[in-house]
Structure 1
Amino acid sequence: MRALAFPLLLSTLLVLPGSLRGAEPPAPTGRWHAALVPVPGVEVGFVLDVSSKGRQLSAWLGNGEHRTPFTSATWDGATLVLELAHLDARLTVRPAGAGLEGTYTRTTSAGTVEVPFQARRTPPAEPSLPRGAPAVGGEWGLTMGEGEKASRLVGSFRQRGARVDGTVRESTGDWGPLHGTWDGRALVLTVFDGVHVYRLTGELRPDGTLAGEFRSRANPPVPWTGRRLRAGEDEAFVPGGDSVVRAKDPSAPFVFSLPDEDGRLVSSTDPAFAGRPMVVSIGGTWCPNCNDEAPLLAELHRRYRGKGLSVVGLSFEYTADAERSRRQVKRFRERYALSYPVLVAGSTKEARSSPVIAQLDGFEGYPTTLFLDRGHRVVKVHSGFDGPATGERFTALKKEFEKTIRTLLATKPR
């Protein structure tokens, strides 16, 4: 019997999992309090949540109450890769002591952007709000920058104790779900949604106005000031999207002829579109407001295509690489389960000289959404998109889009 001891021991070692042979370390699942650090001392905070079901990982990032799911999560025993494929972006993360560290990477029109990442289990300290401290919630008129280059924006903030969330709105859309803190004197708001890496800080001045700095990634800080807006003043301070863009010739049909994700040419004159009202969204897969708009257009298309509505996306991508552009359009359509075509319109650098934009006056940015009648004449244009972070404005815009579509469908052919 003693002669069998060594073979038995050897066979046991060969089949034993775990510590005797060094099993693959488990993935860093759970809730993490994370931040991107575009420059030393400047943190853009968010929540990272990683979970597992069997060997399948999933993850999302959170800004206040808003969650953005990653398209995939993979762990090889040393590195966690979290993809936002439709944005050509990813977080590459490694355990570091009790925390995590890594890099956020994204392809842009200027090349590849990389921002350091860090995370820990414990939440950052929350400031205490003194009794009787002034409130910061409400609508603020912001002036960003100085001199002739200054721009006007509206900050919409909701305050719950020392916590603040909301967004900042331009004429072409909003900044997404800002979140942060207010201690009665200092305001700190950040957002990282896969695209925006924003940090807005400010202090209350004796006259009741705010003043501070805005940072976008590692770009130089931009000074800003803000004053409270009276009820209803926000629309005059920053006009809504319907007042910006017009068709150069309202009597002419809006036309396009562009390839889809498979390289197949799709034209506005195709029989499939003949006599049908159409919604045309000029955007890009990289555009945060376009990503906010896509689920709404998908819902409206599903609801009204049987009644005669067509929807088409025209996508200007970051590079002139046609293969990459088609890939990103495909990922974008898969992300939002779009049943309507999204066509590759070219690169953002060439957009203003494109035949698509040449048909419009006052084009400012993405998305620009055109509502076409049955003869494909532009009857209404909406520039930008007020996303979920804008609250009531988002709800109102959804109703407005649907009302416009119902009106187009009810109109008889000329």
Structure 2
Amino acid sequence: MHKIYRYTLLLFILAAPVSSQAQGIKPGIWQGVLQRPDGQKIIFNFESATLKGKPVWYVINAGERLLVDAIRQRGDSLWIRMPFFASGFALQVQKNGNLKGLYIKNYGVRKEEIPFYAAHNVTERYPRTQPPAADISGRWAATFNSGNGKTQQAIGEFVQEAGGRVTGTFLTPSGDYRYLEGSVSGDSLHLSGFDGGHAFVFTALLNDKDSISKAAVYSGLKATQSWTARRNDTVQLPDENTYTKLREGESRLNFRFRSTSGEWVSIDDPRYKNKVVIVQILGSWCPNCMDETAYLSDFYARNKARGVEIIGLAYERTGDFEASRKALIPFQKRYNVKYPFLVTGVAVSDEQRTEKTLPQLESIKAFPTSIVIDKKGNVRKVHSGFNGPGTGKHYEEFKKEFESFIDGLLNEPS
């Protein structure tokens, strides 16, 4: 494909209305493969189906089935727009019924294209040609090395089935890697995840049942990190409530931005007086923000009448209001968000994003971050990251602790 044609396809994917019903795409399970130039394959599964008379995909990652309902077909050309993250597929149906084309993602300042193909009726992600040499089920202390001297500590938690299939995730101080799925074949581990925002595969050599080496994570078109891990049942991450802090002497926030509906909203507006307010720092490009938004939307519906308000502050790929607004609206619609999303007008890449928007904070280090404000307007907690449903018990523990904390604030006098 010529470059101009590729970009035309990208614009079509991101702007095309969902109206035409695709024909001839076989229903059932497919194996999708993102082919990196270094030879690594990011593999995931999806189901092609029909919902209310229209074609849909369900992208499958372990326990998640992500609905993709923006699908168009014209002849043997197929366009799929992912629900979020400004990404999609431009494909052609092959004579044998399989699919081939490009996965295209818009990062605002650049676009990334990865060759993609998909085969029908292939249910396994990575082939299991040998019995697993070890069972990696359990908790692991992991270290990711970005190659520039910086490292990040993480916790890997995995469940391995008898045949070698593995599910799990990595937890970090800024959030989790969501749903991962793969297998152990011999002494080789492959785990992958794809949701339109994340696209990565973790590979590793199992030294024994307690240590992992020669490991790498391949993300998107070219990004690569090395990692190692050792089994550790008691490893802990830093406290999420100390990762982002208020500046010394500060106790309140002060901001005013336009919402996606165009109205100006301030934390000092009367609707927030004598209320417990949660300020959600997010971006439509952020998969963990997607998980948090799903939770907070439900939480708000259950607790608004009790005196809870939520405000979303969005930092997008661009500072342009209209472009940011268009990126955020699908989030709001998909999760039926009834609280306002405000466009800060400051790009997430801006190194001065904190100073320009929330100077009362030392630094916004993680997306998402939630700031809890009591009835008197004082900041009571700043929680960085979000352990979503892919983390299992950690997600349940977070909900229990968070809702108990909010209950306590609601019981305080105004």
2:181 to 179, 182, 195: 179
What residue is the counterpart of 1:281 in the other structure? Answer: 280
Query: What's the offset of the Cα at 1:305?
Result: 0.7
Unaligned residue ranges in structure 2 (runs of 5+): 1-21
Q: What one-letter code is carried by the residue in structure 1 that aligns with 2:240?
A: G
User: CA offset at residue 204 of structure 1?
Assistant: 1.6
Which amino acid in structure 1 is aligned with residue 194 of structure 2? F
Residue by residue over 1:373-413, the C-alpha shift from the partner in whole angstroms, topping out at 9 and shown as x without a partner, is 01221101110000111110011111122112111111112
Aligned in 2, Cα 1:260/1:43: closer, same or farther, shift over 3 Å?
same
Offset of 1:264 from its aligned partner? Answer: 1.3
Is the 2:113–2:221 contact (alpha carbons within 8 Å) kept by the matching residues of 1? Answer: no
Q: How many residues align?
A: 385
Q: What's the counterpart of residue 92 of structure 2? A: 94
Q: Which residue of 2 aligns with 1:191?
A: 193
Q: Does 1:56 align with 2:54?
A: yes
* Deviates further, 396-405 or 91-100: 91-100
Give the equivalent residue in structure 2 for 1:139: 139
1:385 counterpart SS class: coil
Give how far 1:160 is off: 0.6
Counterparts of residues 261-410 of structure 1 (less than 5 Å): 261-346=260-345, 347-350=347-350, 352-410=353-411
Counterpart CA distance in 2 for 1:227 and 1:96 is 45
Does structure 1 residue 244 correspond to structure 2 residue 243? yes
Q: Is the 8 A contact 1:135 1:184 kept in 2?
A: no
In 1, Cα distance between equivalents of 2:363 and 2:27 = 48
Displacement of 1:367: 0.4
Q: 1:253, CA displacement in angstroms? A: 1.9
Q: What SS does structure 1 have at the residue aligned with 2:305?
A: helix
- Quote the offset at 1:109 in angstroms: 4.1
Q: Is the 8 A contact 2:61 2:181 kept in 1?
A: yes
Distance 1:43 1:224 in 2: 18
What is the identity, as a one-letter code, of the residue corresponding to 2:118? A
Equivalent residue number for residue 24 of structure 2: 26
Q: Report deviation, 1:256.
A: 1.3
2:142–2:229 CA contact under 8 A, matched in 1: yes
Deviation at 1:80, TM superposition (A): 2.2
Letter in 1 for 2:277: M
Give 1:294's aligned amino acid.
T
Give secondary structure in 2 for the equivalent of 1:242: coil
- Name the stretch that deviates more: 120-129 or 152-161: 120-129
1:208 to partner: Cα distance: 4.0
How far the C-alpha of 1:39 sits from its partner, in A, is 2.4
Q: TM-score, normalised by structure 2?
A: 0.87
SS in structure 2 of the partner of residue 241 of structure 1: coil
Could you report, residue by residue, the CA deviation over 1:215-267 in whole angstroms, capped at 9, with x for unpaired residues?
Answer: 1112253221111113x32x1xx224123112225653212100001221101
Pairwise CA distance, 1:197 = 1.1
Percent identity, aligned pairs only? 28
How far 1:295 sits from its partner (Å)? 1.3
* Structure 1 partner of 2:159: 158
Q: Secondary structure at the match of 1:205?
A: strand
Alignment of 1:62-77 (within 5 A): 62-77=60-75
Q: Which amino acid aligns with 2:197?
A: V
What's the offset of the Cα at 1:48?
1.8
Q: In the aligned structure 1, how far is the partner of 2:394 from the partner of 2:183?
A: 23
CA shift digits 1:266-294 (9 cap, x unpaired): 01111111111100110111111100001
* Equivalent residues of 2:135, 2:209 under 8 A apart: no
Q: For each residue in 1:58-80, what CA deviation from the matched residue of structure 2 results, as whole angstroms up to 9, or x when unmatched?
A: 22211122111114222223222
| Residue in 2 that maps onto 1:14 | none
1:216 equivalent in structure 2: 219
Q: 2:232 matched to which residue of 1?
A: 229
Q: Contact 1:58/1:73 (CA < 8 Å) preserved in 2?
A: yes
Q: Deviations over 1:327-347 (max 9, x none)?
A: 112221111100100100121
The Cα offsets for residues 56-104 of structure 1, whole Å up to 9 and x where unpaired, read as 2122211122111114222223222222243222122221232111211
CA distance in 1 between partners of 2:364 and 2:54 (Å):
44
Does the CA-based 8 Å contact 1:27-1:80 persist in structure 2? no
Counterpart secondary structure, 1:348: coil
- Cα 1:250–1:45 change in 2 (3 A) is farther
- Per-residue deviation at 1:195? 0.8
Contact 2:136 2:209 in 1 (8 A): no
The letter of the residue matching 2:231 is R
Q: Distance in 2 between matches of 1:53 and 1:370?
A: 38
The 2-side partners of 1:327 and 1:25 are apart by 29
The separation in 1 between residues aligned to 2:182 and 2:27, in whole angstroms, is 24
The change in CA–CA distance for 1:130 and 1:105 in structure 2 (over 3 A counts) is closer
1:176-226 Cα shifts (integer Å, max 9, x gaps): 111101124111111111111111100022694211111111225322111
| Structure (1/2) with the larger helix percentage | 1
Distance of 2:249 and 2:142 partners within structure 1: 34
- The answer on whether the counterparts of 2:128 and 2:184 sit within 8 Å (CA) in structure 1 is yes
Q: Deviation at 1:129?
A: 5.2
Q: Structure 1 stretch 173-182 or stretch 397-406: which is displaced more? A: 397-406
The CA deviation at 1:147 is 7.5
